[in-house]
Structure 1
Amino acid sequence: MAAILGGGLGGLSTGYYLLKNNLSNNNNLKLLLLEATDYCGGWIKSIKTKDYIFEQGPRTIRPRGTVGLNTLNMMQDLGLSQHVSAIKPDHPAARNRMIYVNNTLHMLPSNLMGVFQKSKPFTKPLIYAVLNDLKSPHKELKDDSIYNFVDRRFGREIADYAISPMICGICAGDAKEISVKFLMKTLFEYEQKDGGVVKGVMKSLFKTKNQEEIEMSELAKQAVEEKWSVYTIKGGLDTIPAVMRQYLKENNVDLQLNCKVEEIQFIDSSLVNLKKGNGEILPANHVYSSIPAHVLANLVSKQHPQLSKLLNDIPFVTVGIVNLYFDTQKPLITPAFGFLVPPMENSPILGVVFDSCCIPDQNGTVLTVMLGGRWFVEKFGSDVTKEKLFDIAVKEIKAILKIDESVSAYHVNILHKCIPQYVVGHYERVAAIREYISSNNLPISLVGSSYDGVGINDVIYSAKTQVEDDVNK
């Protein structure tokens, strides 16, 4: 029997791919999924009414690359194609993205012509950043922060006004700490191997591409042909984990909610005991852990303190989420995806998503404010209340967007230690963790955002690759 720890997207995806492997290889593997809470879906949660949807976590998915196409294949296989709502290149949410600098919202360039024109807050056209990369000397490094890399190759303004807020949007983190080797691997390799990003891009145009081949479903083909920017799910993104959970149940996966594991006891290379809070022991031949690294660290600390320390070395940040609904047909916002705030602005908010522009079937104006992240404790302390976060969010929104209307409905959530930080050296850190597991013949595989990427696509693909790796051993 294989046991899956965690009923978030990583755990559900692991169950999905294990089932697919069982069916294709005519195996009869029994699967057990253990979730500590009463909900499957992890950070993906949607609050739905007839007028609005409040997304508590992710709200859109990118369709590009191998990982993006893989997710679309899974969507179609699960019967979710009809629920997909695509945002195409001509949509305002695809074209219009803003940053807030010096008390002003600035639209970022969205086409080739914009690269040759000067647009605030940049003091020069962005083409100068390309020229800066061409003349910047090569610097041999094993890894670097994204901020240092971009500053070195493209200039300080690009690092401050484009990349730093982007990292706030991706992982609520500080670009001065996040690994460029992990989040921008291809660009970093262009610098290290070819002497610069532009040089690397030019050389790649003349190389035979060795892209991983992936079979594409009709949904994936449609996304490619129509050049989707992002997509979401009608009725809320939590439709995905709900459908996945139902798929697992229909295929006889033993799914246990409110089941908290307190310790993992490794017996040998093919037997592991999962000790529950009530003292009950659940034996398994292999464990797939999709829970956060810091949670897993506590479960293995007695037997494997060294592994526990390695897992705890992956930092996490807390994010405040404030959803706001304004019940008015009066236009309150410029049609756009939203805006991000560079850390140098020293604002309490990381950014705002214009949900009523991005998500279908919204009445009035719906906004989601993200607060804190890497700076959560610094800005709000360790015991801030939801009421305080709401007051801060409303004050900032009304000042930035010049909104006078009262909030008609809202929801506040504090997502404690919700996003891992891929700080410099993350590749080596994860490699050391997996090497320890391999060298000690521990029957456990690691899945999810702690190790392989923070996005929905990354988490799903992490499950796929771990299952395939185990099958091929």
Structure 2
Amino acid sequence: MASLSTAVLGGGISGLSAGYYLLRQFGKPLTIYESSPRVGGWIRTEKHRDRSFIFESGPRTIRPKGLAGANTLELVEQLKVPIKPILSSHVAARNRMIYAKGELCMLPNSPKGLFSTLPPFTQPLYKALWHDLITGSTPAKHDDESIYSFAERRFGKEIADYAISPMICGICAGDAREISVRFLMESLFEKEQKYGGVLKGVLYSRFSGGAKKDSAGLFAQSQPALYSQACQEKWAMYGVEDGLEQLPRALRKYLGEHDVNVQLSTECRSLSFNNNGVRLQLRDAEVPVEHVVSSLPAYKMAQLVKTQHPSLAAQLQAIPYVDVVVVNMQYDSDELLQREGFGLLVPPVEKLPLLGIIFDSCCFEMAGNTVLTVMMGGHWFNQWFGNRPTQKQLLDIAVEYVRKILDIKEAPKFSRVHTLHQCIPQYTVGHKQRVEGIRRYIKTYKLPLSVCGAAYDGVGINDVILSARRQVEALQPVSTA
């Protein structure tokens, strides 16, 4: 398959990773097409001119947990990207808050916290576990349900409202009443379905040894050294020196050094499948290739295939997306926060335009500055902001709630407002079946196409990198005989 000509659509972290794994597995020729003038997708770092602080308009940290976390650390290790670990003992790892019932509430960060009644909850959290134990088996088996419904059924309404719902806001800016339980809690959901309870299933798996995930085949020899270090040193998460955008930049640099062509400002306008492969219609040219790996958002991919495969386009279009406002703020003092931590989330039941606030300067050293990132909108964007809010309107709202929630009365010295349109896919109930249907269609019609990235296999950095790897490794070598 060394002679396979492959096109990768999209120069975000998933597309670049797909290019990396294609290069590693099959060699060249290989071209990555990115419609914008930069790589990285929604990962974007802005360094202030004196370099004393940075703004992240997308993700800023990565978790080193599990198989997907180990896979990313292997990539980071091979690219020699300098990183900044945050240990589990760090304040940003220990302290996570929600704003509810008019006050800032610290979430429990130790087993001891399960036995105290902490606001906004009206009873100790261990009672939620007891609720799961006494609820027993579900009356009927489910293929899927909303994560809110699952949490309310197993652990009670307070957990669904004040723990699960804000967590979903933080992960995908979505409404837990619509998001699939298989998106975040698939293993817990399956344990409940199999054993009649989440806690029963967890305990049974632990004592039977079923909790360990097999990584055989993913890593050639042993686990990556960085992953072993992260486990030994108990990293909770990590960032990248000079901001997370250095990761996609390092990937692009590596690919360029290995003769992979990364074409920026080059949009693919349509795909035409034939017996010899695929023809890509670009602005100024038509390019034939044998295979396409697409990391594009599902709605963009739908437009490329709709003429020849309208049914596939309809399935892709069925994956919804939301708009998110990100407001970065910098203050000259580092003594403005009364409580330190990773940040806070706002439960939707509070009916506020905020999704949450990240305390960037608590996570990483910012040279005497307080740096915050306010996230707003998501599933509720139109409800709160209408069609075309101005940057000033959005900044004013963010400043107002920072003042109200964090008691920071001064205006930020420096700020940046980004409206990220259709940036996060929503894994609504039935998402897993939708993705299986999309890939089944591709396989049935023998299309020389692979789809990877946030639209399908998880929205986190680890998820999209592993998605790219698995789709590339599923490609079968072509016989040259």
Shorter-normalised TM range = over 0.9
TM-score with structure 2 setting the length: 0.95
Q: Secondary structure at the match of 1:372?
A: strand
How far apart, CA to CA, are the structure 1 residues paired with 2:17 and 2:365? 26
Bigger shift: residues 355-364 or 297-306: 355-364
The Cα shift of 1:219 comes to 1.1
Given the alignment of the two structures, is residue 133 of structure 1 paired with residue 132 of structure 2, yes or no? yes
Show the counterpart of 1:72.
Answer: 73
How far apart, CA to CA, are the structure 1 residues paired with 2:325 and 2:361? 20
Please tell me whether the aligned partners of residues 143 and 424 of structure 1 are also in contact (alpha carbons under 8 angstroms): yes
From 21, 24, 27, the counterpart of 1:20 = 24
How far apart, CA to CA, are the structure 2 residues paired with 1:374 and 1:330? 33
Show the counterpart of 1:246.
Answer: 253
How far apart, CA to CA, are the structure 2 residues paired with 1:212 and 1:41? 30
From 399, 403, 410, the counterpart of 1:405 = 410
Please tell me whether the aligned partners of residues 347 and 355 of structure 2 are also in contact (alpha carbons under 8 angstroms): yes
The Cα shift of 1:29 comes to 2.9
How far apart, CA to CA, are the structure 1 residues paired with 2:288 and 2:350? 52
How far apart, CA to CA, are the structure 2 residues paired with 1:69 and 1:361? 28
What is the identity, as a one-letter code, of the residue corresponding to 1:407?
P
Residues 1:457 and 1:362: Cα distance change in structure 2 (over 3 Å): farther
TM-score with structure 1 setting the length: 0.96
Show the counterpart of 1:275.
Answer: 281
What is the identity, as a one-letter code, of the residue corresponding to 1:155?
G
Show the counterpart of 2:458.
Answer: 453
How far apart, CA to CA, are the structure 2 residues paired with 1:53 and 1:89? 23
Question: Aligned-residue CA RMSD in angstroms?
Answer: 1.2
Unaligned segments of structure 2, at least 5 residues: none
How far apart, CA to CA, are the structure 1 residues paired with 2:322 and 2:405? 25
Bigger shift: residues 166-175 or 328-337: 328-337
% identity of equivalent residues: 48
Show the counterpart of 1:217.
Answer: 224
Please tell me whether the aligned partners of residues 234 and 360 of structure 1 are also in contact (alpha carbons under 8 angstroms): no
The Cα shift of 1:362 comes to 4.3
What is the identity, as a one-letter code, of the residue corresponding to 2:185?
M
Please tell me whether the aligned partners of residues 8 and 18 of structure 2 are also in contact (alpha carbons under 8 angstroms): yes
The Cα shift of 1:333 comes to 4.0
Q: After superposition, where does 1:136-147 map in structure 2 within 5 Å? A: 136-139=135-138, 140-147=141-148
Please tell me whether the aligned partners of residues 28 and 260 of structure 2 are also in contact (alpha carbons under 8 angstroms): no
How far apart, CA to CA, are the structure 1 residues paired with 2:129 and 2:446? 48
How far apart, CA to CA, are the structure 2 residues paired with 1:332 and 1:221? 34
Q: Which runs of 4+ in 1 moved over 2 A?
A: 329-333, 359-363
Deviations 1:168-205 (A, max 9, x none): 00000000000002321000001100000000011102
Show the counterpart of 1:357.
Answer: 362
What is the identity, as a one-letter code, of the residue corresponding to 1:430?
V
What is the identity, as a one-letter code, of the residue corresponding to 1:125?
P
Please tell me whether the aligned partners of residues 399 and 411 of structure 2 are also in contact (alpha carbons under 8 angstroms): no
Unaligned segments of structure 1, at least 5 residues: 23-27
The Cα shift of 1:472 comes to 6.6
What is the identity, as a one-letter code, of the residue corresponding to 2:451?
L
How far apart, CA to CA, are the structure 2 residues paired with 1:472 and 1:124? 58
The Cα shift of 1:149 comes to 0.3
Residues 1:253 and 1:316: Cα distance change in structure 2 (over 3 Å): same
Residues 1:185 and 1:472: Cα distance change in structure 2 (over 3 Å): farther
Q: After superposition, where does 1:62-461 map in structure 2 within 5 Å? A: 62-80=63-81, 83-139=82-138, 140-209=141-210, 211-213=213-215, 214=219, 215-268=222-275, 270-278=276-284, 280-461=285-466
The Cα shift of 1:253 comes to 0.6
Please tell me whether the aligned partners of residues 97 and 107 of structure 2 are also in contact (alpha carbons under 8 angstroms): yes
Please tell me whether the aligned partners of residues 298 and 455 of structure 2 are also in contact (alpha carbons under 8 angstroms): yes
